[in-house]
Structure 1
């Protein structure tokens, strides 16, 4: 299946002004959830019995490409495909190849993907051929039984095989690990040694209160400052200025030679430097992961073409909030937002 971009939007975009919000932040990073579906049901991300969107409500590949082109024309230089699990969407490589053409111009500088790794063995080579150079692989444990408990299904052997295939395809990999007290906090050093030993980075992430899920978020919440202090007593952590376009702060671990990242939406938010917006699989643009303000780009595109889409991006910049205020404690144990992480792709 070949994707035919809408010519009036995707291939004939006029030079446009950059996307700048009310606080002077330049938006250069677009995350696109290509599907809300996933072959796992991770306890911190989804309910066990999820109701997924009807396929008729999902953006077509042509629409995703046209919206991407509009963002690139206005200065977005980094694009990340997410889900759910992006590699479970039918014919996903046709979309990746089509979006990869933006890398050949003067706009898009990087096309990346976040995946759970379950399908990576099948697609690693094709992703590299399409222009993808880096992947984030979500993996919270190295123990097969614990993996099944966290994901509620799946085989960790498939993820290991996918990672090996991606490394063979010369893709740079960063492992994303949600740190959960009482679940995998005893594996942090083991995961770091394994990842760094294979030439991969490791980024630790605090759990976020999005959607009703399968764990007690108060009990499982682990502030990463606590982990940082714990690790610094055993390892030499050298602060790095390295940035990859996202919210992580990085250190180099002298003893392993590898890079360790910390994403702290709870204990120390990173909103002052936020350069990101998120497009859902139905075409809703969320300006903040921790807020519900949204702009319907699907309707703008379908009803008014490029002009209305461009105007919708202007509206989005006026709506982008200064930041989020996540709280996890016994006084407020309910989710901060009703939508699950899989809706906006993290």
Structure 2
């Protein structure tokens, strides 16, 4: 069932939002990443434990609550919403939720509604996403080798993802591939992935592995500095810097020989926090002010404590007033504990 918020109820809850969300360092917070579930149909080795424990479904915010939360951020000046997981498309009712949020696109108050997905369910949902007003998506994909893909994801089917990518492009969605650079898993394949993505008219972003959550492998074994990756690619191609930002932390270049766009996300080798305009909300309503910090706010309590959005708005504003300058990611020794214990599947991409 589609999530519908009546106009009268929305008006009765609306708070005056003339003042934008500004953090202590003068950054305007207008980009919110909202996780709708911590569950995923893959078990990527760098993301979670093989036997990951997920939250009881009863702990998750309902879609009506998630709609109300997203709408509160829109009221406070958010112009971009990114829906994430886990894998958002595994949660029953997700497509109706997206359709409901599209009213903010129609009104013009929301500039962009986007999605990060692993692509396993894109083939059946791409047309619906496009119909709901989503124009571009990020797809996490770390290899084009079926055996490697099966090993990295612990059982995933690459063919289904490739089918989903075709369906997304056929539906008119712009696709950006996100690939985590892993020294012993895909380092020798990254250049070929760039060439493939550009041949399919897709952007691609390469990402350093982040010390989030517990995994079986030592992150020192996985870690591949993006400076090393970029130097390797520069021996094959001409990389011309671009003054382009898409709302996230990537820095972009044009690969002159392919004409395509390539992004680099460097949480360890080159910080990107100075221009951070983002916050994240988990599927339980926990607002995290920084991917690499634990400081935040419990928005679930504000949501459930009153039908009026006053408490929710005050909680959001108070939290933003404490947003830290940046994260403290480090991968420098074997056996080190992760920077934060929560897995990436909890916070969302």
Pairwise same-fold verdict (TM > 0.5): yes
Q: Does 1:180 align with 2:182?
A: yes
Residue 47 of structure 1 deviates from its aligned partner by 0.4
2:172 corresponds to which of 167, 170, 173: 170
SS at match of 2:309: helix
Task: Kindly report which structure 2 residues correspond to 1:1-346, keeping only aligned pairs within 5 A, or say none.
Answer: 1-5=1-5, 10-12=10-12, 13-16=14-17, 17-304=19-306, 305-330=308-333, 333-346=336-349
Residues 177 and 197 in structure 2, CA contact (< 8 A), matched pair in contact too: yes
Could you list the runs of 4 or more consecutive aligned residues of structure 1 that deviate by over 4 angstroms after TM superposition?
6-9
Using the size of structure 1 for normalisation, the TM-score is 0.97
The whole-number CA distance in structure 1 between the counterparts of 2:298 and 2:211 is 24
Residues 167 and 173 in structure 1, CA contact (< 8 A), matched pair in contact too: yes
Using the size of structure 2 for normalisation, the TM-score is 0.97
Count of aligned residue pairs for this structure pair: 346
The whole-number CA distance in structure 2 between the counterparts of 1:95 and 1:264 is 32
SS at match of 2:321: helix
Residue 92 of structure 1 deviates from its aligned partner by 0.8
Residue 11 of structure 1 deviates from its aligned partner by 4.4
Check 1:8–1:289 CA distance in 2 against 1; reply closer, same or farther (3 A cut).
farther
SS at match of 1:285: strand
Residue 332 of structure 1 deviates from its aligned partner by 6.3
Residues 203 and 248 in structure 1, CA contact (< 8 A), matched pair in contact too: yes
Unaligned runs of 5+ residues in structure 2 are none
Output the aligned Cα RMSD: 1.3
SS at match of 1:42: coil
Residues 15 and 310 in structure 2, CA contact (< 8 A), matched pair in contact too: no
Unaligned runs of 5+ residues in structure 1 are none
